[in-house]
Amino acid sequence: MPVLDWERETEQGGGDALPKLPLPALGDTLDLYLRTLRPLLTEEQYQETLKIVTTFGAPGGLGELLQRRLLERSENRANWVYDYWLNDMYLANRMALPINSSPVMVFPPQHFRAPIDSLRFAAHLISGMLEYKSLLDTRSLPLDYARGQLAGTPLCMEQYYRLFTSYRLPGPQRDTLVAQQSSVMPEPEHIIVACRNQFFVMDVVINFRRLNERDLLTQLDKISKMADSEEECLPPIGLLTSDGRTEWAESRRVLMKESTNRDALDMIERCLCLVCLDQSSGLDLTDTSRAKLMLHGGGGAKNGGNRWYDKPMQFVIGSDGCCGVVCEHSAFEGIVLVQCTEYLLKYMRGSPSKLVRAASVSELPAPRRLRWKCTPEIHKHLSSSADKLNRQVRNLDMDVHKFHEYGKEFIKKQKMSPDAYIQVALQLAYYKCHGRLVSTYESASIRRFQEGRVENIRSATAEALGFVRAMADLKSSDTEKMERLRAAINAQTKYTVLAITGKAIDNHLLGLREIAQDLKLEKPEIFKDTAFLISNQFILSTSQVPTTVDMFCCYGPVVPDGYGACYNPQSDHVLFCVSSFRDSPQTCSEEFVQILERGLLEMRDLCVRHNADTNGNPGGKADERPSGKPKEETLERPVQSQATRMVGGTPSALGDVPRPPPQVLVSKAAAKSQVDIQTQTTSQGGSKERKI
């Protein structure tokens, strides 16, 4: 699906100028796969899996056949895994997008004194969006370079050019990522403004002239007044987009029978973005409440129908000051969302007088309300969609917590990677809660390669298990604990390098599984093995999303009994956004955050005591702020797949690690099969998709 002018992309130093994603050696991948299973399986489970993996990788066996076919594919494509990954990670996933798939950025709370103030904010934001789009249209966006590990490498810019040109079209079995083609004489560009669950077409370019901020405000004010008309109020069709993808595809099929609906859908699907003018939620706007409102809009009774979840960018401006962005994730990763929104907030902060700048368009056409013809069948779908969304709203357990005791500068002074340190802290927190480690997903960017998206960093390493057990062992000395902490952080850092250089194993195993399906072979035993399913039930779904302005990212968990853990490390604090589901007896976001904070304090105290003992200097205080290397490049949002996501491993030696207790695929009592558990929707109790 062409979305870029590749020749122009090459001129920027991206696209074809970048190397192709490498294909790891089969033996390396299988070895790492076995290593990553060690902390998750009993000895009996591991030995059974060892036999299966050995058979798969035997000389002349099935693994070598699939590897040869993958090699052929890699020679003929810019990125051998991209299509497999996109379908598996997003398009074939049947989960509803809110909470399960769509991450959000939450802006600082705004203080609007009058209704016109929120419209001014929206006009200013739209103006900034158009400025940013002009950078994209002229290919003037500065080239990204890698930070953190292996810094300085140019990165693929392809994802940026899908921000305002793509749309996720629902399908009965698989969605389609539609990318619009540019033309010499484009139609007048427009956005869709959602207000009181109604949708309005608002042109932002008229007669080849971009509207200035005063004109934008005039149009928004007209829309606000039009939306207040109860006589013309139409059903909240946007609720349909919050449903499961198969259900929404069926509702859309019914809508398409009417020409009026077809015209409305066409205008939405071709728009640049949505601007959602939300009504006041009536809630106390804490960080946690704003995060929840951005994820689901408060349900059908609030602003849940004031959305169109298929569009990549939805800018939310609440009259109560709750503002942010909702992102449809299949088109791009978290870094693109962060870069765009940071540009907008900095633009708005640095250009307060745009309302009197450019000349106005003399005659502004009135914004147009989109009309819908709704049959009894559509009303039935709407009722069902609203019920499901309301259940999700009640079920989401979110806790946004700012850890004030220290931040990344203290961690850097210990000569440790802040990201790896926090990942180990998350392992410690889960172990304190449950007495074991579980499969953990942290995504890492592979934009060093053509069409690169993400690879998985496996944080539940044997070294991490050794550290958390030492912390729980009263007989362990500080010296032993410190050695194990450094070993865990080193293992995490090494695996990060493997992932960002295309040498990890999630994508490779995905490719092997999918190429077997392409060849119409029976699914290999390695992918039916219980250990494979256990390793791909990501109970901890994590992501580092650092920002340079006052905003934060959050998302939901990916399995019924799991946690979503997004974190934003700053110099002197770390912001954590932890989510789970209330109907799980195994999880509680508030409790997890409390235990996480306790573990972070224990890790700090351990470092301080060790420094004092080593240096003979009791002044190694935790409030000292060292400088160090830049933040790790692990920004992208972890997402899981329709059936099972792939696995990763750690390159470091495991040593003798006691076997953990047996793990089950789902800790809830349910009659579903293991594979069913991997594919159920949240309304049915779980999900496998994950993000950023």
Give the other-Cβ count within 10 Å of 436's Cβ. 17
Q: Is 329 a catalytic residue?
A: yes
Are 555 and 581 contacting, i.e. CB atoms less than 8 angstroms apart? Answer: no
274-278 and 313-318: which strand pairing? parallel
Q: How far apart are CA 361 and CA 356, in angstroms?
A: 13
Residue in 124, 190, 329, 401 annotated catalytic = 329
Q: How far apart are CA 165 and CA 136, in angstroms?
A: 11
- Strands of 217-321, DSSP E: 274-278, 313-318
How many CA atoms, within 13 angstroms, populate the side-chain half-sphere of residue 657?
29
Q: How far is CA 92 from CA 176, 240, 509, 510, 540, in A?
A: 9, 18, 17, 14, 22
Q: How far apart are CA 141 and CA 546, in angstroms?
A: 20
Q: Which two tokens stand for residue 215?
A: 């004109």
Handedness of CA 13, 14, 16, 19 (dihedral sign): positive
Q: How far apart are CA 536 and CA 648, in angstroms?
A: 10
Q: How far apart are CA 682 and CA 692, in angstroms?
A: 19
How many CA atoms, within 13 angstroms, populate the side-chain half-sphere of residue 106?
25
Reading phi first (left if > 0) and then psi (alpha if -120 to 50, else beta), residue 415 is in left
Are 136 and 161 contacting, i.e. CB atoms less than 8 angstroms apart? Answer: yes
Q: Which two tokens stand for residue 244?
A: 């499961």
Are 527 and 644 contacting, i.e. CB atoms less than 8 angstroms apart? Answer: yes
Which of these, 304, 246, 236, lies nearest to 96 by C-alpha position? 246
Q: How far is CA 365 from its chain centroid?
A: 38
Rounded to 5°, the CA angle 147-149-152 comes to: 45
Residues 6+ apart with CB under 8 A from 229: none
Q: How far is CA 51 from its chain centroid?
A: 35
323-327 and 104-106: which strand pairing? antiparallel
Q: What is the DSSP letter of 561?
A: T
- Buried (b) or exposed (e) across 92-119, using 16+ Cβ within 10 A? bbbbbbbbbbbbbbbbebbebeeeeebb
Residues 6+ apart with CB under 8 A from 262: 255, 256
Catalytic residues: 329
